Structure 1
Amino acid sequence: MASTPPRPAKVSQRAQDVIRTAGNNLIWDVLKDPWGATTNPNGYVNVGVAENPLMHETLLEHLNRSVELPAKYLTYNDGGSGSVRLRRAMAGFLNRNFHPAVPVQDDQLIVTNGVSPAIEHISWTFTDPGEGILLGRPFYGTFVPDLSLRFGACVVQVAFDDCDPFSLGAVDKYEQALLQFQRETGRKVKALMLCHPHNPLGRCYPRPVLVALMKLCQKYGVHFVSDEIYALSVWENTVDELPAPVAFESALSIDLAGIIDPTLVHVLWGLSKDFGANGLRMGVIISQCNRDVHTALGAISLYSYTSGTADHLAARLLEDVEFTDKYIVANQAKLAQMYAYAARRLQDLGIEYAPGCNAAFFLWVNLGKRFVELHPEEAGGAVGDRVMQRLVQAKVFLASGALFGSERDGWFRIVFTHPIEYLELAFKRIDAALKKRDGTITC
């Protein structure tokens, strides 16, 4: 009698966990079905993904100018942490634009294929499975999988209630969350992660708050990690009077003497946002005083190796001081213009938003409130979920606050870095989705 063949092996438990929790992510459907005026008018209008195409023509003109790839970029070149040429160009760029208290050296940089791998490296380097990383709410939604999905760190979400998350009072909330996690789990908090400037709130942390958070990290021996991927995407807010915008100051610019052990301070940056180049996949970890970080990450750099082409293009871009200086100024002017347009358009539509932005690409908007104003009978329950269903039906994509750790239901993130015509179509679809009373949305 023939033997029974063995049952096919299942995927690992961790793979099953991912399938269960992240297998049906709407964003992939959105990216596969983009709106086009003539090619796909029924596709998604996407104002949910953090991309900035406003300066693409300018950047492409520079990148496409006589591209000649040296032969060494077809080899492993100088190793997985980025070519010496690129790290020197990055160090020079950071010293000119981030105003570090101690100049950045090229051997203090670890280049990665995007900032998401850099965030994951931070989690791998500083935490053992089950140990904590503090993250204030609301947060960039992908921080959670970046920090926890593969290496098992625990993201400790910090709630602020009615406290301004950019105030000195918020520091106490971080400490309370740290102590509660350690008391309830018996495990340590190993790092505090900031997004500075902030995604999704579009604000910068004042220097006194950065210093106070560093002192908190020093008190408990916690690594202070500042993700500054939007560092140069700052602009003048000509719309809102309060809260008064705060100028961006990098964590690198702070003299750490008497504040925190410099081995605990690390900064992340990349080309995705400030240069509108998500597709180049180019990030960097700046750790000026911790050689253990460099030794450990150097050993696993194969898993975040940038391509030779991206390395070459990024180095050539950052070496061009005249171009990058002009680019940053022009980009900031366009960001200010588009924020003003989007904020006033929201005011016209009667949609509340969190004011006081002066950085990044976002408006944090209360669609739930507007929905209940239009449909009082719908008050109560998960209003945000019902609004999201309407938005998907109207083929307009926003990032849901529920996935960003929002402390209040009904908030969403709108990305305003699009041409006015595209944004206007997005606003029309949002307005139609909120107002509809039957099964049909027209816009």
Structure 2
Amino acid sequence: MSAPPPLSSRALRRQAIPPPHVYKPPPGPFYDSELSPNGVINLSTAENDLLSGRLIEYLSRPLAIYPPHLKYRNTLLTSELPTVEDLLPTYVNDHFHPLVQVTRENSVAGPGIGSLLAQLIWAIADEGAGVLLSSPFYDDYVRDIVHPSFATPVLANVPADVDSLSMEVFPYLEKSLHEHASPISGEDKHEIQVLLLCNPHNPLGQVVAREVVEGYALFAEKHNLHLVVDEVFGLSTFKSNYPPAVDAEFKSILSYDLAALGVNPARAHVLVGPTKDFGASGFKLGLLTSPSNPALISLIRPLFNATPISAASDLFFARLLADKPLVDSFLKENSLKLGQAYDFVAKWMEGHGLPFVRANAGVFVVVDLGPFIARMTGSADMSDQERLDRAVAAMLEEKVFLKPTTLMADPIPTRFRLIYAHPRPVMELALRRIEKAFGVREAPLLE
């Protein structure tokens, strides 16, 4: 039998990229109170289950399906039916208060933020060019930066004692940018062409203060970079009993007068989407907008002709987004429940003396399980990696999985990103399983 035909040169180059060290979630089954009560509780995936019941009830009501929903995307878009292309801009205008109104013409709707980011990077970064971001960072950005553009993530490694969401981050961004403009001996050169900011931040769970966002815009202008701002958690903010020291209110960069700052608005590109806010990430919808760069939008829009938003996602979310009173009510209730869920876990962490990064946004909190790990491993002669491996294995043995933030370039090797946006009984069971994994007492829980 002859050998199979060779892969393309592009595929071979991608195949040569070494995979990162990844703690993958187990294959399942995952916890369900009825179907799989002994399944693994997955606290690693940034999903929101707090209002799933309400959304399912709403989407289960009788729904009118028309012939255009069964045809190619272009048929639906050119029909008289409302689509997410029509309604997502309105959602952004109503809640993000942009200086320039977002329209169907200056935005692109696509099947998820990751897909939009990947095509955006393809359009604004050359092959091998650097996309600069600070640590810690959302690790799946690597996937979207590298494929399909073959651009390169470039980290500004921020020390553990420096707040990477403060003005103190800029010397580290400058250092990384200059090192890659004139690399030290033996290192590859990756000219920085893009600066990426996540606000609210993943994994740190905080709204980035306005002065810092403006600092990013000025940094991009100074170095002639594209500025990409991921605001997918912009409406998943909350008040709590454990706020950050700087409890900033989220303001979209779309609402900033960048020109008055001396920044060309055409360099700023923003990613938004409703699925995180509604706990429906599986519907895969997002919006890229760059109101001052119509040429870029025109370039990217046809890239989704082969991979459009599904008609089913459009059908469900078009009805949801058109119901403005429901949207307002849902967002308000989601904010309240996120704050309560965060407080529940924060009280537990406080009860165990576990350091954590105080949050005011998102569905996650970064917690340092160092005290638990030290108790479990004692004075054994082990590396940081070995201790982390043992901690992850111990939790998996008790059917709970958390993602270590070492995967996100966190300089603190004992921290984890813990997703708390689960119904109270599930979260309580997960915390008790963690305690059992490390052999610690049960801490009091909020009633």
Q: Could you tell me the TM-score, scaled by structure 1's length?
A: 0.90
Distance in 1 between residues matched to 2:147 and 2:388, nearest whole Å: 25
**2:296 alignment counterpart:** 293
**1:354 alignment counterpart:** 357
Select the residue among 310, 317, 321 that pairs with 2:320: 317
State the Cα distance separating 1:424 from its structure 2 match: 1.4
**1:76 alignment counterpart:** 72
State the Cα distance separating 1:167 from its structure 2 match: 1.2
**2:388 alignment counterpart:** 384
Q: Does 1:54 align with 2:50?
A: yes
Q: 1:266, 1:287 within 8 Å by CA — same for their partners in 2? A: yes
**2:338 alignment counterpart:** 335
Change (3 A) 1:401 1:204: same
Q: How does 1:152-163 map to 2 (within 5 A)?
A: 152-161=150-159, 162-163=161-162
Q: What letter corresponds to residue 404 of structure 1 in structure 2?
A: M
Distance in 2 between residues matched to 1:300 and 1:365, nearest whole Å: 39
**2:40 alignment counterpart:** 44
**2:215 alignment counterpart:** 212
Distance in 2 between residues matched to 1:82 and 1:413, nearest whole Å: 43
Distance in 2 between residues matched to 1:174 and 1:115, nearest whole Å: 24
**2:234 alignment counterpart:** 231
Change (3 A) 1:43 1:98: same
Distance in 2 between residues matched to 1:336 and 1:348, nearest whole Å: 18
Where does structure 1 lack aligned partners over 5 or more consecutive residues? 437-443
Where does structure 2 lack aligned partners over 5 or more consecutive residues? 441-447
**1:86 alignment counterpart:** 84
Distance in 1 between residues matched to 2:364 and 2:78, nearest whole Å: 31
Alpha-carbon displacement from aligned partner over 1:352-380 (angstroms, at most 9, x marks no partner): 2112x110011101113431145431475
Change (3 A) 1:392 1:374: closer
Q: What letter corresponds to residue 89 of structure 1 in structure 2?
A: L
Q: What letter corresponds to residue 31 of structure 2 in structure 1?
A: W
**1:249 alignment counterpart:** 251
Change (3 A) 1:209 1:302: same
Alpha-carbon displacement from aligned partner over 1:378-434 (angstroms, at most 9, x marks no partner): 475123232122222222111111211111111100000011111111112212222
Q: 2:21, 2:407 within 8 Å by CA — same for their partners in 1? A: no
Q: 1:100, 1:250 within 8 Å by CA — same for their partners in 2? A: yes
Q: 1:80, 1:306 within 8 Å by CA — same for their partners in 2? A: no
Q: 1:352, 1:370 within 8 Å by CA — same for their partners in 2? A: no
Q: What letter corresponds to residue 125 of structure 2 in structure 1?
A: T
Change (3 A) 1:387 1:125: same
After TM superposition, the structure 1 stretch with the greater mean CA deviation from structure 2, 39-48 or 129-138, is 39-48
After TM superposition, the structure 1 stretch with the greater mean CA deviation from structure 2, 384-393 or 262-271, is 384-393
Select the residue among 410, 415, 429 that pairs with 1:425: 429
Distance in 2 between residues matched to 1:22 and 1:9, nearest whole Å: 28
Q: 1:81, 1:301 within 8 Å by CA — same for their partners in 2? A: no
Distance in 2 between residues matched to 1:169 and 1:25, nearest whole Å: 31
Select the residue among 132, 135, 138 that pairs with 2:133: 135
Distance in 2 between residues matched to 1:159 and 1:82, nearest whole Å: 48
Distance in 2 between residues matched to 1:170 and 1:82, nearest whole Å: 46
Q: 2:69, 2:311 within 8 Å by CA — same for their partners in 1? A: yes
After TM superposition, the structure 1 stretch with the greater mean CA deviation from structure 2, 197-206 or 300-309, is 300-309
Distance in 2 between residues matched to 1:301 and 1:210, nearest whole Å: 30
**1:415 alignment counterpart:** 419
Q: 1:215, 1:260 within 8 Å by CA — same for their partners in 2? A: yes
**2:445 alignment counterpart:** none
Distance in 2 between residues matched to 1:62 and 1:173, nearest whole Å: 47
Q: Could you tell me the TM-score, scaled by structure 2's length?
A: 0.90
Aligned to 2:313, the other structure's residue is in SS state helix
Q: 2:119, 2:303 within 8 Å by CA — same for their partners in 1? A: no
Q: What letter corresponds to residue 106 of structure 2 in structure 1?
A: Q
Alpha-carbon displacement from aligned partner over 1:125-171 (angstroms, at most 9, x marks no partner): 11122100012111112111121143211101112212211211212
Distance in 1 between residues matched to 2:430 and 2:249, nearest whole Å: 30
Identical counterparts, % of pairs: 28
Aligned to 1:327, the other structure's residue is in SS state helix
Q: What letter corresponds to residue 424 of structure 1 in structure 2?
A: E
Distance in 1 between residues matched to 2:14 and 2:130, nearest whole Å: 22
Distance in 1 between residues matched to 2:368 and 2:319, nearest whole Å: 42
Aligned to 1:110, the other structure's residue is in SS state strand
